[in-house]
Chains A and B, each alone.
Chain A
Amino acid sequence: MTVKHLQIFSLWAATLLSALIFILSGNTLFGDIPIRVIFGFSALSITLFTWVATIFLTKGSKASFFNLFRILGFLSALFNLAVVFYAAFSFDGYWSEEINGIFFVFSGVSFVFLLFNYLGFGNHALSNQKQNQKPDVTDWIFILVIPFLVAAYGVFSLFNQETALSSVGEPDFTIQPAPLMDIFEKEAADANQKYIGKVIRFSGSVAEISGDSSIFITLNTWKEGYAVNCDFDLELKDKLSAVLQGDSLLLQCSCSGLSAPEEGMSLLSGASLEMTRCALITNFKNNPNLGTDVEHPKETANKKRK
């Protein structure tokens, strides 16, 4: 086996593995249509065909065949990536992120290495003389060990990505609690789809601070029987220690939806907007001029009632 063979075989092995994982993952992208079978077997067929063909046809060491297989490999890897992206943005039904994450990682790795190989980058690939030599330790490391480590790291990270304690970064939406509640009440299904799990930036004044296993701040909404419940991780205790009842806060939280008592429930009363993984952006204390990036004319006007 030469370096050239090793490169091509390892790249195809990665592609083959990703195709196999995809087939075995049991994903259904379009409900009843077993699209995974179509995509998976297509990818597998192309891979297998090219791989087997490589073994037989490269015996003559014709450079043109290598170029052909590189192009095919490149297209196959592109195809794999296209499937993943298509699936990620248009799936309907169960979608296993872990399994497809593995698929994605392997496809990505195979893509990058096929690209390098095709363009003649990396290690000694630019040297045809070297390519026809037997692989040495550095070739094995470059071609097999590094991609394996990259793939292993990618999979590990994907599985173990921790939930953020607070909603930092740019918010998905900037909207005040009162209009958000109205949206949830009027168009529950659409609102659930649009806002739940999304990071919302909003402001309000503190009505109550409580909680044992987390810090729980209730904000006034100025709507009778409505509140905003904001849950903060205990690790933010120091940052929140200065927050007092009546303070005006600019917060950013993950929205969990509107919780209202259901029919037949007589003890629970009042509706609340549930916010988790909250982050305190600014504490304006008693300053009625809240942050300028949040529209809150009603709240500011009503705040003086308190």
Chain B
Amino acid sequence: MKNALILLLGFTLLRGVSAQSNESDKTQLYTTSSGTIKFFSKTTAENIDATNNQVKAALDANTGNMEFAVSINSFLFKKALMQKHFQENYLESDKFPKSTFKGSITNNAAVKYGVDGTYPVNVKGKLTMHGVTKDVNIPGKVTISGKKAILSGDFNVLLDDYNIKVPANNASQIAKSIKVTVDCSLQKK
């Protein structure tokens, strides 16, 4: 009888913990407002790189869904004129102030959010930039470290795909394909 009671108590406790865990899973959201995205353009004439440290990102560990929002005007360049050109002329930030990504990790089951480690992932979603939305497939990594999920990866963006026109004057200075590097450290909410 005593054993049965202990078993029952144990079962009840386990169910309680499990229920709590499920509840926690439902809200397993990682977020940041200070993620980093860099881009790099390489041409024989000039290499251009820019950094944005104000990337908003959110990842739902339960579903693998993720969202990114990037303010175009928060990209910082080393050279003032480049920054001005990038924001005003190429990305037309007055018309399209933000770039967004909405997608999900296709192999989310492979990521053990409760266990520290680095997990290769594949992210599929829609990238909106300069008013154009395109399907993209990005290989990357999710690194779990305690309550942090660090999302990293890189991919190339073709300027033509997003209707980004570089005037002939500057065509030799800007690559047609820009390398975008993502490095966002998300904190569990």
Residues of A within 8 A of B (CB): 25-26, 94-99, 158-164, 189, 192-193, 196-197, 210-214, 216, 218, 227, 229, 231, 255-257, 259, 261-262, 264-268, 272, 274, 276-277
* Among candidates B54, B67, B102, residue contacting A276 with C-beta atoms closer than 8 Å: B54
Assembled-state Cα–Cα distance A250/B115 (Å): 42
A267 near B73 with CB under 8 A, answer no
Give 7 CB contacts A-B under 8 Å.
Answer: A94-B167, A95-B89, A98-B81, A162-B80, A197-B73, A212-B36, A216-B54
Known: A161-B81, A268-B31. 12 other contacts (CB 8 A): A98-B81, A164-B80, A197-B73, A218-B33, A229-B54, A255-B73, A256-B74, A259-B69, A262-B69, A265-B100, A267-B58, A276-B73
Contacts of A159 in B (CB 8 A): 79, 81
Assembled-state Cα–Cα distance A231/B54 (Å): 7
CB distance from B1 to the nearest CB of A (A): 50
A216 near B34 with CB under 8 A, answer yes
* CB-CB contacts below 8 Å: B81-97 with A: 81, 83-85, 87, 89, 93-94, 97
Residue of A nearest to B89 (CB): A94
B169 near A213 with CB under 8 A, answer no
* CB-CB contacts below 8 Å: B29-84 with A: 29, 31, 33-34, 36, 51, 53-54, 56-60, 65-67, 69, 71, 73-74, 76-81, 83-84
Assembled-state Cα–Cα distance A193/B87 (Å): 12
Residues of B within 8 A of A (CB): 29, 31, 33-34, 36, 51, 53-54, 56-60, 65-67, 69, 71, 73-74, 76-81, 83-85, 87, 89, 93-94, 97-98, 100, 102, 167-170, 183, 185
A26 near B168 with CB under 8 A, answer yes
* Among candidates B31, B71, B169, residue contacting A274 with C-beta atoms closer than 8 Å: B71
B167 near A277 with CB under 8 A, answer no
Contacts of A264 in B (CB 8 A): 102
* Among candidates A160, A216, A261, residue contacting B53 with C-beta atoms closer than 8 Å: A216
A267 near B67 with CB under 8 A, answer yes
Closest 5 CB pairs of A and B: A267-B58, A256-B73, A216-B34, A214-B53, A256-B74
Contacts of A196 in B (CB 8 A): 73, 93-94, 97
Assembled-state Cα–Cα distance A227/B85 (Å): 28
CB distance from B104 to the nearest CB of A (A): 10
* Among candidates B34, B76, B81, residue contacting A210 with C-beta atoms closer than 8 Å: B34
B58 near A268 with CB under 8 A, answer yes
A272 near B33 with CB under 8 A, answer yes
CB distance from B137 to the nearest CB of A (A): 20
Residue of B nearest to A276 (CB): B74
Assembled-state Cα–Cα distance A272/B56 (Å): 10
* Among candidates A160, A161, A261, residue contacting B69 with C-beta atoms closer than 8 Å: A261
A213 near B74 with CB under 8 A, answer no
Assembled-state Cα–Cα distance A277/B83 (Å): 13
B79 near A161 with CB under 8 A, answer yes
Contacts of B56 in A (CB 8 A): 259, 268, 272
Contacts of B83 in A (CB 8 A): 163
Contacts of A267 in B (CB 8 A): 29, 31, 58-60, 65-67
B54 near A256 with CB under 8 A, answer yes
Contacts of A274 in B (CB 8 A): 54, 71, 73-74
B185 near A212 with CB under 8 A, answer yes
CB distance from A166 to the nearest CB of B (A): 11
A96 near B170 with CB under 8 A, answer yes
B73 near A257 with CB under 8 A, answer yes
- Check A262/B98 contact, CB under 8 A, given A161-B79, A212-B185, A229-B54: yes
Assembled-state Cα–Cα distance A212/B54 (Å): 11
Assembled-state Cα–Cα distance A97/B183 (Å): 32
Contacts of A162 in B (CB 8 A): 78-80
A268 near B71 with CB under 8 A, answer no
CB distance from B181 to the nearest CB of A (A): 11
* Among candidates A99, A160, A197, A231, residue contacting B79 with C-beta atoms closer than 8 Å: A160
- Check A231/B74 contact, CB under 8 A, given A26-B169, A192-B94, A267-B60: yes
Assembled-state Cα–Cα distance A264/B65 (Å): 13
Contacts of B31 in A (CB 8 A): 267-268
Residue of A nearest to B94 (CB): A192
B73 near A213 with CB under 8 A, answer no
Assembled-state Cα–Cα distance A266/B78 (Å): 34
Residue of A nearest to B34 (CB): A216
Assembled-state Cα–Cα distance A264/B60 (Å): 15
